[in-house]
């Protein structure tokens, strides 16, 4: 058997095969779980809507962390008996996708305008097909256990219907409206974008100060601006009402430079007396602040730029110039008329288009908006009242702040790729909002009393509008489908904190409004993945790592474990390739523990247990009286892991649980138990080797269950090879985590002493450079643990490489002269080793140990004398300190006695 298994675990030869098998068997489907009777009837379904990646994107490690966490949750919940539904999908990503395809067309000498709207849409669809395969291929390779048959795309017919239904409903309720407002215009993309799609960057600029002349006087008001070209759009000048210098000019008229157009001076509280000159010009047509100030004072808006952000005909001789050229030329013209005062360096915050990088131009334009105020308050309430929990909770404040200061959401985009706005216009501009053109026609017929030609709105919706419906649109809403009834609301919405506003908040608002329920119970936010150099990983930075590269080098499990351990919710993760390597080694370690078992299990029976529930089946354990100390110890540690697993999972401590498992499997199961098991397995006692094999098989089998959500492929690969298991449960994925059991704390304490003794002896060997091959003869005695030592002589002999016949343990042990004494708790270990014995050095060594122990004892004693401590500290802490003190006292006494016994 063992000869068939390779010495090193090779992920390549298992992962793809197992992934395909899981999917073919339908194990990722909730229906399969139910058919197989795997469900615990007391547990509710566990549902995750997968955040849909951009369909034309390529996944990088930032997506992989999402896949890893969600798959962890899905698998762990399945193993707890929940019915799990995890719905995958992709997002059409309006702007992002359209940009890519347009760029492609441009490279081949074409353009979307050249081929027209419908041909362009066909072009994008074909891109979608190609990239979609790549993304889902990447995800499958990571082994994610979502229900692929329920996969969705935001432009699917059903999802499009959900979009139109919601739009019509919100429109009819007056929550969606159309109007001319100042919006963020992206000149490169030729569309409006929402506030969230604008990023700000500090740049070195100039503050220009110039003169605003009064109409009927030689006086002027000095004004500072960073954008002198916008004077052409000025429709007012603001001063502070209490300003001694200019406050009095309020109500008078000033003349716009170069145009001599008269505009009013208004008094406004928002003017900062200490900044600039204490007066600012108002350009309501191209600045958000000015827009609001203008509204307050009833000032008109003038647009001076065209859609390319070049000056338009209102700029007269400057028409056609870009913003930058215009600025220089206009400033020069002002200087020529002696209107300029000074220029000084000034750092400015420039608004940039998130997608295309160029400077955003605020412009008045006709757009569609969603009224946010009331929806935002409801979205606040559900978090306040705990109907939705945000993990980690530190994001609650951020969420509230955003909702409290929300502005209406501009949802129309001047693009071709997306959900077209379901509104049709009559010849007179009358709007008909309807599910489709027929329904619009019906409305029009009623309105006009006759058949009329209608034209649909040209714009499409912000891509986040359709993703805002995701948790319910993927389940069939607005139809009352079975899935919707059963799986809505979702259990967890897991995503990166960077899209809390973009996506999470909007899903909550739209979910509450449209379904009357919260869309999910928990929001779990993960951190960003940073590259090894600490920078944020992203495609535009050029440092994005393709998960497949890591997978092919180290295996998917190694990658997943690296993304799942060492993380805590909301905290960023810096990936280090050393972690991948280490985790690959870990996989190999487990593989070899399994090979070890198989090599020794060949001739042994590994009977399966007979629990009430097949999904709990494991290897049967020997009767309690056949268990050795090591057996009891490893089972006690397993019991602790069992307790921890559920607790940590409930607290979202995925990283901590992963680390516990790693340490348990490598440093306890492999380093200690397997080493100790060699004694039993190779001994002559057939019952004992049988028992040892059973314990090892049991612990390994259980470990695989807990490790499975982290390393699904490795655990499945081993599961498939372990004798008997797969005939009961076909896959580790559907096996159940055990209910917590009692921990044998005595075994933990006892074995802990054995470990300390073994370490002390190994340490001594190393310190004295004793030939590693040499079997030591020792005497080991103790006042209180004599029986333990006597019962575990074999174990100590094997682990510490002692002489199998020349040692005595417990009562029989005798101190000899001329020896080194090791003191471990109250155990004395005597080495008759005259050859290396330097009596003075030996005394010193023991004396320093005594001093050290005495210091500890005194510290503990001081604590116990302190009545403040004994009266205020919890009982178990006091007890622990008492036990510690008496143990230390005993140790000190013993070592001192041994010191006195030393000759000289």
Partner RNA sequence: GGGCGGAUAGCUCAGCUGGUUAGAGCACUUCGUUUACACCGAAGGGGUCGGGGGUUCAAGUCCCUCUCUGCCCACCA
Return the closest-CA partner of residue 369 out of 556, 233, 194.
194
Instruction: Give, as ranges, the residues between 389 and 428 that touch RNA (CB under 7 A).
Output: 394, 397-398, 401-402, 405
Instruction: Give, as ranges, the residues between 75 and 114 that touch RNA (CB under 7 A).
Output: none
Asked if residue 630 binds RNA (CB under 7 A), the reply is no
Q: Which is nearer to RNA, 672 or 809 (CB)?
A: 672
Q: Which is nearer to RNA, 153 or 185 (CB)?
A: 185
Instruction: Give, as ranges, the residues between 865 and 884 that touch RNA (CB under 7 A).
Output: 866, 868-869, 872-874, 877, 884
Select from 288, 329, 371, 521 the one that contacts RNA (CB under 7 A). Answer: 288
Interface region with RNA, contact rule CB under 7 A, candidates 54-62, 177-185, 430-438, 853-861:
853-861
Q: Which is nearer to RNA, 402 or 833 (CB)?
A: 402
Q: At what angle do helices 556-564 and 117-142 cross, to 10 degrees?
A: 90
Instruction: Give, as ranges, the residues between 136 and 195 that touch RNA (CB under 7 A).
Output: 195
Interface region with RNA, contact rule CB under 7 A, candidates 311-319, 541-549, 782-790, 859-867:
859-867
Select from 23, 102, 287, 408 the one that contacts RNA (CB under 7 A). Answer: 287
List C-alpha distances in Å: 70 to 151, 192, 614, 682, 714: 15, 34, 26, 44, 18
Asked if residue 670 binds RNA (CB under 7 A), the reply is yes
- Sign of the Cα torsion 627, 629, 630, 636 reads positive
Asked if residue 893 binds RNA (CB under 7 A), the reply is no
- Which residue in the block uniquely carries the two structure tokens 């974008």? 193
Q: Which is nearer to RNA, 226 or 481 (CB)?
A: 226
Select from 58, 96, 348, 359 the one that contacts RNA (CB under 7 A). Answer: 348
Distance CA 14, CA 719 (A): 12
Return the closest-CA partner of residue 209 out of 276, 307, 129, 142.
276
Q: Which is nearer to RNA, 546 or 671 (CB)?
A: 671
Q: Sheet containing 409-410: give its strands across.
A: 191-193, 176-186, 361-370, 409-410
End-to-end Cα separation, the chain, in angstroms: 61
Contact present, 842 and 835 (Cβ < 8 Å): no
Contact mark string toward RNA, 546..585, x via CB under 7 A: --------------------xxx--xxxx-x-xx-xx-xx
Select from 256, 514, 593, 645 the one that contacts RNA (CB under 7 A). Answer: 593
Asked if residue 297 binds RNA (CB under 7 A), the reply is no
- Least Å from the CB of residue 399 to RNA: 10
Distance CA 76, CA 82 (A): 9
Contact present, 471 and 513 (Cβ < 8 Å): no
What are the φ/ψ torsions at residue 894 (nearest 5 degrees)? Answer: -65, -45
- Which residue in the block uniquely carries the two structure tokens 């000289």? 904
List C-alpha distances in Å: 7 to 593, 595, 650, 697, 708: 11, 8, 37, 19, 21
Select from 345, 534, 835, 904 the one that contacts RNA (CB under 7 A). Answer: 534
List C-alpha distances in Å: 375 to 25, 188, 380, 511, 828: 43, 32, 9, 10, 73
Select from 261, 589, 882, 898 the one that contacts RNA (CB under 7 A). Answer: 589
Asked if residue 450 binds RNA (CB under 7 A), the reply is no
Torsion (CA) 372, 378, 379, 381 in degrees, nearest 10: 140
Select from 226, 314, 441, 643 the one that contacts RNA (CB under 7 A). Answer: 226
Select from 74, 364, 559, 587 the one that contacts RNA (CB under 7 A). Answer: 587
Interface region with RNA, contact rule CB under 7 A, candidates 97-105, 311-319, 830-838, 862-870:
862-870
Select from 171, 280, 615, 706 the one that contacts RNA (CB under 7 A). Answer: 280
Q: Which is nearer to RNA, 156 or 581 (CB)?
A: 581
Size of the site for RNA (CB under 7 A): 97
Asked if residue 203 binds RNA (CB under 7 A), the reply is no
Contact present, 249 and 265 (Cβ < 8 Å): yes
Q: Which is nearer to RNA, 34 or 398 (CB)?
A: 398
Q: Which is nearer to RNA, 236 or 547 (CB)?
A: 236
Return the closest-CA partner of residue 564 out of 496, 492, 653, 446.
653
Instruction: Give, as ranges, the residues between 245 and 274 that touch RNA (CB under 7 A).
Output: 270-274
Bridging pattern class, strands 89-90 and 84-87: unpaired
């Amino acid at each position: 058997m063992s000869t068939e298994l390779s010495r090193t675990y090779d992920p390549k030869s298992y992962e793809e095969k197992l992934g395909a098998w899981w999917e073919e068997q339908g194990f990722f489907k909730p229906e399969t779980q139910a058919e197989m009777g795997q469900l615990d009837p007391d547990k509710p379904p566990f549902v995750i809507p997968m955040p849909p990646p951009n369909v034309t994107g390529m996944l990088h490690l930032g997506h992989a962390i999402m896949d890893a966490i969600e798959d962890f949750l899905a698998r762990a919940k399945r193993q707890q008996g929940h019915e799990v539904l995890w719905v995958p999908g992709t997002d059409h990503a309006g702007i992002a996708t359209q940009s890519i395809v347009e760029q492609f067309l441009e490279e081949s000498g074409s353009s979307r305008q050249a081929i027209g709207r419908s041909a362009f849409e066909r072009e994008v669809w074909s891109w979608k097909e190609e990239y979609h395969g790549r993304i889902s291929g990447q995800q499958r390779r990571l082994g994610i256990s979502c229900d692929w048959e329920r996969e969705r795309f935001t432009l699917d017919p059903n999802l499009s219907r959900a979009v139109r239904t919601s739009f019509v409903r919100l429109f009819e309720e007056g929550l969606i409206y159309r109007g001319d407002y100042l919006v963020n215009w992206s000149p490169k993309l030729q569309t409006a974008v929402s506030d969230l799609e604008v990023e700000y960057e500090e740049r070195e600029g100039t503050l220009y100060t110039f003169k605003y002349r009064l109409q009927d006087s030689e006086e002027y008001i000095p004004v500072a601006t960073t954008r002198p070209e916008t004077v052409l759009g000025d429709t007012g000048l603001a001063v502070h009402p209490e300003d001694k210098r200019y406050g009095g000019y309020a109500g008078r008229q000033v003349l716009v430079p170069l145009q001599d157009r008269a505009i009013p001076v208004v008094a406004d509280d928002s003017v900062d007396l200490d900044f600039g000159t204490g007066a600012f010009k108002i350009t309501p047509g191209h600045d958000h602040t000015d827009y609001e100030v203008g509204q307050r004072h009833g000032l008109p808006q003038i647009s001076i730029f065209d859609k390319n952000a070049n000056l338009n005909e209102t700029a007269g001789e400057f028409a056609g110039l870009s913003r930058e050229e215009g600025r220089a030329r206009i400033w020069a013209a002002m200087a020529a008329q002696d209107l300029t005062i000074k220029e000084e360096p000034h750092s400015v915050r420039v608004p940039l288009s998130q997608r295309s990088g160029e400077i955003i131009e605020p412009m008045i334009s006709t757009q569609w908006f969603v009224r946010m105020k009331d929806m935002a308050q409801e979205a606040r309430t559900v978090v306040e009242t705990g109907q939705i929990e945000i993990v980690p909770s530190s994001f609650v404040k951020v969420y509230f702040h955003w909702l409290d200061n929300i502005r209406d959401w501009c949802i129309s985009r001047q693009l071709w790729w997306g959900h077209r706005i379901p509104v049709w216009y009559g010849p007179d501009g009358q709007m008909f909002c309807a599910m489709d053109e027929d329904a619009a026609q019906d409305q029009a017929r009623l309105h006009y009393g006759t058949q009329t030609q209608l034209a649909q709105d040209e714009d499409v919706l912000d891509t986040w509008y359709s993703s805002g419906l995701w948790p319910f649109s993927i389940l069939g809403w607005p139809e009352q489908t079975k899935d919707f009834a059963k799986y809505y609301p979702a259990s967890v919405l897991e995503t990166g904190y960077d899209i809390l506003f973009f996506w999470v908040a909007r899903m909550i608002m739209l979910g509450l409004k449209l379904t009357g329920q919260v869309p999910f119970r928990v929001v779990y936010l993960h951190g960003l993945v940073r590259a090894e150099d600490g920078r944020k990983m992203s495609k535009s930075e050029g440092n994005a790592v393709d998960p497949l590269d890591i997978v092919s080098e180290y295996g998917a499990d190694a990658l997943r474990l690296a993304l799942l351990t060492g993380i805590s919710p909301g905290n960023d993760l810096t990936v280090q390739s050393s972690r991948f390597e280490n985790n690959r080694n870990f996989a190999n370690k487990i593989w070899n523990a399994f090979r070890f078992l198989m090599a020794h299990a060949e001739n042994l029976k590994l009977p399966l247990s007979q629990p009430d529930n097949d999904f709990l089946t494991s290897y049967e354990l020997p009767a309690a009286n056949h268990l050795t100390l090591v057996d009891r110890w490893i089972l006690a540690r397993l019991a602790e892991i069992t307790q921890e697993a559920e607790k940590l999972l409930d607290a979202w401590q995925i990283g901590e649980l992963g680390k516990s498992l790693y340490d348990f499997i490598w440093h306890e199961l492999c380093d200690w138990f397997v080493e100790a098991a060699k004694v039993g397995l190779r001994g002559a006692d057939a019952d004992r080797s049988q028992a040892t094999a059973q314990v090892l098989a049991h612990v390994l089998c259980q470990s695989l269950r807990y490790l499975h959500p982290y390393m699904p492929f490795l655990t499945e690969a081993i599961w498939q090879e372990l004798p008997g298991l797969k005939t009961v449960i076909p896959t580790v994925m559907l096996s159940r985590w055990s209910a917590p059991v009692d921990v044998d704390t005595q075994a933990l304490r006892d074995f802990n002493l054995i470990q300390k003794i073994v370490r002390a002896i190994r340490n001594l060997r190393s310190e004295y450079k004793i030939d590693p091959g040499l079997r030591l003869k020792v005497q080991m005695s103790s006042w209180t643990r004599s029986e333990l030592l006597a019962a575990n002589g074999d174990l100590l002999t094997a682990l510490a490489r002692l002489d199998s016949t020349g040692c005595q343990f417990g009562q029989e042990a005798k101190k000899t002269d001329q020896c080194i004494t090791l003191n471990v708790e109250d155990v004395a270990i005597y080495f008759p080793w005259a050859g290396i014995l330097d009596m003075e050095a030996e005394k010193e060594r023991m004396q320093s140990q005594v001093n050290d122990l005495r210091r500890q004892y005194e510290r503990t004693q001081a604590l116990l004398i302190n009545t403040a401590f004994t009266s205020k500290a919890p009982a178990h802490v006091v007890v622990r300190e008492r036990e510690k003190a008496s143990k230390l006292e005993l140790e000190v006494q013993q070592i001192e006695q041994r010191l006195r016994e030393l000759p000289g």
